[in-house]
Amino acid sequence: MKDTKEMTNNSQTIKNLEAAFAGEAMANRKYLYFAKLARELGHEDVAALFEDIAQQETGHAFAHLQLLFPKDGMTVEKLLELARDGELYETNHMYPEFEQTARQEGAESAVAEFKEQATESAVHATIFQKAAQRFKALGKVEALHAAEYADALKRVQQGMSLKTAS
């Protein structure tokens, strides 16, 4: 289906897609958690029901993601950078703010959890950053190899044409 207009980054539809994605993604993890609890409570049939619907929520979430991050024009480098930026946002903005509020409200267990997860997000950001750098370096090496190959091929072809000329 073709859009009648190009969606801009801050259009209401983009915001709605992000909200819808968040809701479906949350439903997926929540139902998996409910399945775990239902199983621990001894209700395997209810656990299986939650797992089945959770699977469908993943499909719904992916459908929204396909519009938010279309494959056209996407590169692996861009994917790694988007992931890194998300983790950096959690590390530097989201968790510190949440931690401060939790402290003000005396919610000590939440303070501890936000702190711990900010650290884990920082680790994830570093992993994505390193992968992006490796990927960039690999791209340069590949470009170099491709240039060397093209050069060698040219030399061989020139040599061959010299031979056929003689």
Binding stretches for Fe ion (CB under 5 A): 24, 57, 60, 121, 124
Pick between residue 57 and residue 99 the one whose CB is nearest to Fe ion. Answer: 57
CA distance 53 to 24: 11
Least separation in angstroms between CB 157 and Fe ion: 51
Pick between residue 54 and residue 111 the one whose CB is nearest to Fe ion. Answer: 54
Least separation in angstroms between CB 126 and Fe ion: 11
**CA neighbor of 61 nearest in space, from 12, 83, 28, 35:** 28
Pick between residue 24 and residue 99 the one whose CB is nearest to Fe ion. Answer: 24
Element (H, E) at 103: helix 95-104
Least separation in angstroms between CB 87 and Fe ion: 5
- Identify the three-state secondary structure at position 46: helix
Least separation in angstroms between CB 128 and Fe ion: 9
- Length of the chain as a residue count: 166
Pick between residue 88 and residue 111 the one whose CB is nearest to Fe ion. Answer: 88
Pick between residue 43 and residue 60 the one whose CB is nearest to Fe ion. Answer: 60
- Find the distance separating the first CA and the last CA of the chain, reported in whole Å: 61
- Identify the three-state secondary structure at position 125: helix
H helical segments located in the chain: 12-40, 44-68, 76-89, 95-104, 108-165
> Within 10 Å of residue 21's Cβ, how many Cβ atoms?
19
Least separation in angstroms between CB 35 and Fe ion: 16
